[in-house]
Amino acid sequence: LAERIDAEAGKPAQTRDGHAITLLINAGLSAQSEEFLASDAKGIGLYRTEIPFMLRDRFPSESEQIALYKRIFKAQPNAEVTLRTLDVGGDKPLPYFPIIEENPFLGWRGVRMTLDHPEIFLVQVRAMLQASIGLKNLQIMLPMVTSVSEVIEAKRLIGQAFHEVSEEAKLQGNTLYQPRVGIMLEVPSVLYQLPQLAKLVDFFSVGSNDLTQYLLAVDRNNPRVAELFTSYHPAVLSALNSIAKQCRAMGVPVTVCGEFAGEPGGALLLMAMGFTKLSMSAHNLRKIKWVMRNIVLTDAQAVLEHALQADTHLQVLESTNFYLESRG
Ligand code: PEP
Ligand code: MG
């Protein structure tokens, strides 16, 4: 099987019946991604900037961050590069910025923290913009958005940083291009405000890990409830399907960047819903491409119809696995 998967390198990412899917990678340290980018991925769908922050003993300075982000653009000067602003808190602590809370997953994480510390946010966004001078492929993504007001405030700060960096660039005879700005869909409240949010952003990206955690009220890292944590839950599938439908109707670009996109059954169901961009860990990419190249989209849609009618995640798993096995 491994050999058959390796043989997929370089082949087009499309289903048997010719539906193309854009495969992107999730990264957090540039080195790990470069070799995969060269062959199979069309860019970075999620760069988790908190990972390099977590490996240090203090906040990286603006120039340190510029150097870091430049390395990513150097590997990917043309393909899309989605840099997510700092998503600390929850299960991702910074050793030098302790956050002690009783319910960290419901607490001060993602944009909630960085909007309370605009100096941290501005330095980071400035560094992203500096690193992208002369390039047109920067996408800035906001994690853990709950409300429209957070997006408005974050965009105001991004606008301020853009103005500053753009003036500096001009003095040096360089051009800073507008980044595209998007948000993660991972807090359930946003599912009910997609039209309002769509007016403010250029793209959405579904974080199926947190969306599953918050829809099911199941801690994604707690082994005691690990069996309850599943994106195959029919309620989660229904939420994902609704996102796909609404985004298609509104014409808003949407990616799925949670782990579900890197699982064969997950990718199958997401493609059937109509998601055409999937971002995943580099080590899953070829496997998913192989799955995709062996399925027929209309069959996948039938599997999805069945899954959406199912009572339990076990029934969903049974029908997705049955179909995947039938395809080899
Ligand atoms: C997610 O929540 O699905 C996601 C991609 O972000 P993270 O795993 O970094 O929270
Ligand atoms: Mg998340």
Quote the ligand 2 centre to 140 CA distance (angstroms).
15
| Residue 133 CA, ligand 1 centroid: distance in Å | 28
Report the pLDDT averaged over residues 43-59: 95
Structure token digits, residue 145: 């958005």
Q: Which residues does ligand 1 sit against, CB inside 6 Å?
A: 46, 48, 87, 186, 207-210, 257-258
Pick the residue whose CA is nearest to atom 4 on ligand 1: 207
Mean pLDDT across 71-76: 90
**Beta strands 43-48; 203-206: pairing state:** unpaired
The pLDDT score that the predictor gives to residue 1 is 73
- Pairwise CA distance, residues 265 & 267, whole Å: 6
Give the pLDDT score at 265: 98
Q: What tens digit of pLDDT does each residue of 163-192 get?
A: 999 999 999 999 999 999 999 999 999 999
What pLDDT sits at residue 30? 58
Atom 9 in ligand 1: which residue has the minimum CA distance? 48
pLDDT digits (tens, 9 = 90+) for 200-230: 999 999 999 999 999 999 999 999 999 999 9
Which letter does DSSP use for residue 312 in this model?
A: S
The predicted pLDDT at position 39 comes to 63
How far apart are the C-alpha atoms of 97 and 99, rounded to whole Å? Answer: 6
User: Could you tell which of 25, 26, 44, 48 is best to mutate to test the pocket of ligand 1, judged by most ligand atoms within 8 Å of the CB?
Assistant: 48
Query: Rounded CA gap, 320 and 18, in Å?
Result: 20
Å from CA of 163 to ligand 2 middle: 29
Using one digit for the tens of pLDDT, what is the confidence trace for 295-320?
999 999 999 999 999 999 999 999 99
Output phi, psi for 162, to 5 deg.
-60, -45
- Tell me the CA distances in angstroms from 31 to 28, 140, 216, 264, one per residue in order: 9, 20, 35, 25
| 281: Cα separation from own chain's centroid | 10
Write out the H or E segment, with its range, that includes residue 183: strand 180-185
Planar angle of CA 237, 5, 265, nearest 5 degrees? 10
- pLDDT tens readout for residues 268-296: 999 999 999 999 998 899 999 999 999 99
Q: Which residues contact 94 (CB under 8 A, 6 or more apart)?
A: 50, 53, 54, 59, 88
Q: Which two tokens stand for residue 150?
A: 């957070």
What ipTM, to 2 d.p.?
A: 0.99
Side-chain half-sphere CA neighbours of 194 within 13 A: 24
